[in-house]
Amino acid sequence: MVQSYLRHGPTQAFGLVCSPSSNSVYDDRIAYVPALEDVLVWDVKKGQMLAMWHETGHRAEVTCIQRSPRKDTFAVGYADGSIRLWSASTGTVTTTLNGHKKMVTALAFDDAGTRLASGSQDTDLIIWDIIAEAGLFRLRGHRDQITAIRFINAPSAVQPSTSTASSPGYILTGSKDTFLKLWDLSTQHCIQTLVSHRAEVWSMDLDKEQKVVFTGSGEGELRAWRLDQEALAEGLKETETGQLTKMIQPITTLPLSSSHRVSQISFHPTLPYLAVQSHDRSVELFRIRTEEEVRKKQARRRKRAKEKKEKHSGKGKDKNGEEGDADMDENKGIELVDLFTPYLVVRASGKIRSFDFPTSESSLKGNTQLFVALSSNALEVYNIPPPTKSKEETSEATRMYSLDLPGHRTDVRTLSLSSDDMLLASASNGSVKIWNMKTTACIRTLDCGYAICSTFLPGDRQVAVGTKSGDIFIYDLASSSLVETIQAHTATVWSMQVRSDGMALVTGSADKDVKFWEFEEKESTGVDAQGPKLVTLVHVRTLKMTDDVLSVRYSPNRKLVAVSLLDSTVKVFYEDSLKFFLSLYGHKLPVLSMDISDDSKLIVTCSADKNVKIWGLDFGDCHKSIFAHDESVMQVAFEKKSHYFWSVGKDKMLKYWDGDKFENIQKLEGHHGEIWTLAVSHFGNFVVTGSHDKSIRVWEKLDEPLFLEEERERELEGLYESGIAESMNREDGPIGSGAADGGEAPTQAEATAVLKQTTETLMAGERIIEALDLADAERAAFREYEEAKASLSPEEAEKLPPPARNAVLAAYDVTPEAWVLRVVDKIPNTALQDALLVLPFGKVVSLMNYLNMWAQKEWNIILVSRIMFFLLKTHHHQIVANRIMRTTLMSLRKHLRFVLQRQKQTIGYNLAALQFIQRRNDTERTAQFYEEEGMDEEKVRAKIAEGKKRKRVSIKA
């Protein structure tokens, strides 16, 4: 009988407000923020999570979020190079776009929201068609990660309305290679490259008129550039000197208050503000003045200067000189530095990851908001007041909302569960949080020092926390207060555990002491005096060790105490007399954690040497040494009433082991940072882990059985498939990266197709091949049957039985060609081209025959056209050299042209009808106005164009 185990699966991650992996988007109270692999939607005012955008099975981190002009759609880029389009109203993925090999670093939509540009760490820029759900083309030229993308609308002169160019317009990109590139989308080429800064270009933004570009560098420099719209309208031309016209020209450098990296530049969507983040904790705001304001200011300045001079020198002296100065000042033009004046600095409470202005106009009487996402797992919103005329009042930004309670500011260092598994205590440097395990809501937040270990005290009313300073804090949960501070040790308290009978506690510290404590009840004071009594610790004994104590554990039968030391050994003592019993040595580096099984037979130890060792407690013999993790193993814990145990490590993995057979049962991935701690349920039905990524994750035991052989096969299959996909995606390094294997790197085209094989597209290709094989076999069998019937006399032909239909086709009751269409139709648009690339040429010939049949029967003509054009483009050389396809192609051309002509006529007819209805509607409305108000035609048309907007009128009492 093969032994089966129960599978564990992730249920949810909590404790996250926002992660520092990506930018955030804000829309008047509602914030869309990254939370590792998910996107969270928060109502910042209420501090309430409205939605979590989670795709099952997808583990790559969110690296970029961009909102489409079509408000409901969001483009989210991930660390694995994929882009998902999410619908905000339903919280589901509408499309997955795969094209990049490394993480997506920049996203931008065009004004209509129909095209998306994505830049990546693999240096490629890809333009996607959102409607067709396919990549239009890939642009190569940058030599390092693309950091910023902006669409530039084509001036009307360059694109006549009859233009057949696929994608009019321009794109501006900034990259870490210090270059700024301007791309023409109609020719798919770079038309200007600027060496913009001496260091990496980290950020860029365009003003609303698309005339001024600001770029920020790693050296803290903010530069302004002029975008020449006339030059763009004329296109590339040679000047008299024989040089090409420059579309972008440098203007000036704007002074900033700090010289740190300029990590983000943003114009306010409606108000005249420019925000620049160059310091870790602050955002600098510039006010954009109008030319009129600047002229007034200059006039005032001239007037003041004149008055000063007159005061200093006697009247009538040096008059000519003064007039000359004044004239010079008048003739001086308005510079860009005069238009952008520093307004105020917003200082946040922590390191800023990104900021955003609200997209909709705020109704705060001229005020605006600035949303800030912090790297420390918190969100803040600041109120920016309008400029004041008086000099006395200086404008200050005030914090309106702060969202930080549902998560820790620093790494989660320790977790402990209450005896009924209802409450979870998590602690970090600065705070202890109590969570309700059913709702995963944070119900208490308590201040503390740098927490290292924690445990619930008997009765689950109090939590004890050991800190780096050597103190033990005891908190009462009912009153949310610190009840007692015990100065237990003089150095870090590394470990503490309550004895299985709930009568005593042991602590181990870096001061080389193991201290034993007993519980004593004391009267509770204050408001809760009538309630149950509080528990306090009384020091009973001390065991002096030769080295720092890293972990201490009682055996569940209360006979032994195990102590792990910095010298990589574990010493076991009798609990009652503290006499030495065993020494366990074998680890090469310090033992960081250990645990003893419920029957007190096994002890498992884990170490910084990446090994887990299983020992017998009777004789101290090492049963097995397992190389468990790729990094230090941070903690181990036995499951209750079994010899199965869990281990977590700095390699971000949680692993489940069988301590009797020394087998790895399951590997669980999910965390994005080293895992510091774990807590196992007292009933054995779940495990909780806490990590450097500030998330707390619950892994629940499912009813699904797990067989080790199947698990290993699945792992190998996954490796094999990803290996095939990688080998098919192999290309030489990016332009300028040198040779791939010591030889010369082949030159690559600047614009190429967008293709990327994944395991999904490989499987989709295999499904098409299987469907073609099945349909071809079925058609061949019936063809033979018809031929056999034709060769027989009519009487014998009637007696000949038809061949048995394929079981699949019979079950669905479809013809072979309908079955192939059904399979192809189910493949997502985004994966279709990559799936067709998998087909060998023999299958392409076969598929062309089916395309002809579908065109003849007028089935899904859009799909037929897409597949046909792609196959012809991809296999052009072979098709031209192959005579077999001539008849199929001629037939296909005839049928497809006929069907497309008919569809064109139908659409034209419908369009004409709709235009007629619109004209008639306009006429009726005009006539209606004439009857109502007796206005002339021009006024009526103006009123219709206005759309009868309701205006607010302020009525004074």
Task: Please say whether the beta carbons of 702 and 8 come within 8 A.
Answer: yes
Q: Could you tell me the pTM of the whole model?
A: 0.84
**pLDDT range class, residue 739, cuts 50, 70, 90:** very low
Residue type, 351: K
Q: What is the pLDDT of residue 364?
A: 56
Distant-in-sequence, close-in-space partners of 902: CB < 8 Å, separation ≥ 6: none
Backbone angles phi, psi at 264, to 5 degrees: -160, 140
- Length of the chain, in residues: 957
Give 518-530 pLDDT, tens digit per residue.
998 877 665 555 5
Instruction: Choose among 597, 596, 681, 711: nearest CA to 5.
Output: 711
Higher pLDDT, 83 or 317: 83
Q: What is the pLDDT of residue 257?
A: 79
Higher pLDDT, 741 or 650: 650
Q: What is the pLDDT of residue 939?
A: 72
Q: What is the pLDDT of residue 315?
A: 54
- Write out the H or E segment, with its range, that includes residue 362: none
**pLDDT range class, residue 333, cuts 50, 70, 90:** low
d(CA 584, CA 616): 10
Task: Please say whether the beta carbons of 42 and 50 come within 8 A.
Answer: yes
Q: Give the homologous superfamily in CATH for domain 546-672.
A: YVTN repeat-like/Quinoprotein amine dehydrogenase (2.130.10.10)
Domains in the chain: boundaries:
261-298+336-387+395-403, 546-672, 759-882
Least confident of 150-159, 616-625, 698-707, 826-835: 150-159
Q: What is the pLDDT of residue 393?
A: 60
Q: What is the pLDDT of residue 742?
A: 42
Instruction: Choose among 307, 99, 164: nearest CA to 834.
Output: 99
Residue type, 232: L
**Averaged pLDDT for residues 870-884:** 83
- In sequence order, the β-bridge partners of residue 416 are 425
User: In the chain, pLDDT over 90 holds for what percent of residues?
Assistant: 42
CATH class of the structural domain 261-298+336-387+395-403 = mainly beta
Give 400-450 pLDDT, tens digit per residue.
889 888 889 999 999 999 999 999 999 999 899 999 999 888 998 999 999
Q: What is the pLDDT of residue 532?
A: 66
Residue 329 has pLDDT above 80, yes or no: no
Q: What is the pLDDT of residue 737?
A: 40
Q: Which two tokens stand for residue 843?
A: 């299958």
Give 463-501 pLDDT, tens digit per residue.
999 999 999 999 999 888 999 999 999 999 999 999 998
User: In Å, how far are 436, 525, 535 from 532, measured between CA atoms?
Assistant: 21, 11, 10
Instruction: Choose among 654, 736, 667: nearest CA to 698.
Output: 654
Q: Reduced to 3 states, what is the DSSP secondary structure of residue 909?
A: helix
**Averaged pLDDT for residues 298-309:** 82
Q: Where are the beta strands (DSSP E) in 609-739?
A: 611-616, 622-627, 633-638, 644-649, 653-658, 663-669, 675-680, 686-691, 696-706
Terminal Cα-to-Cα distance of the chain (whole angstroms): 90
User: In the chain, pLDDT over 70 holds for what percent of residues?
Assistant: 90
Q: Reduced to 3 states, what is the DSSP secondary structure of residue 394?
A: coil
Residue 632 has pLDDT above 90, yes or no: yes
- Write out the H or E segment, with its range, that includes residue 765: helix 759-791
Backbone angles phi, psi at 65, to 5 degrees: -130, 135
Q: Where are the beta strands (DSSP E) in 360-407?
A: 368-374, 378-384, 398-403
Residue 946 has pLDDT above 70, yes or no: no
**Averaged pLDDT for residues 53-81:** 91
**Averaged pLDDT for residues 586-597:** 93
Q: What is the pLDDT of residue 71?
A: 84
Residue 948 has pLDDT above 60, yes or no: no
Q: Which two tokens stand for residue 116?
A: 């998306």
- In sequence order, the β-bridge partners of residue 150 are 172
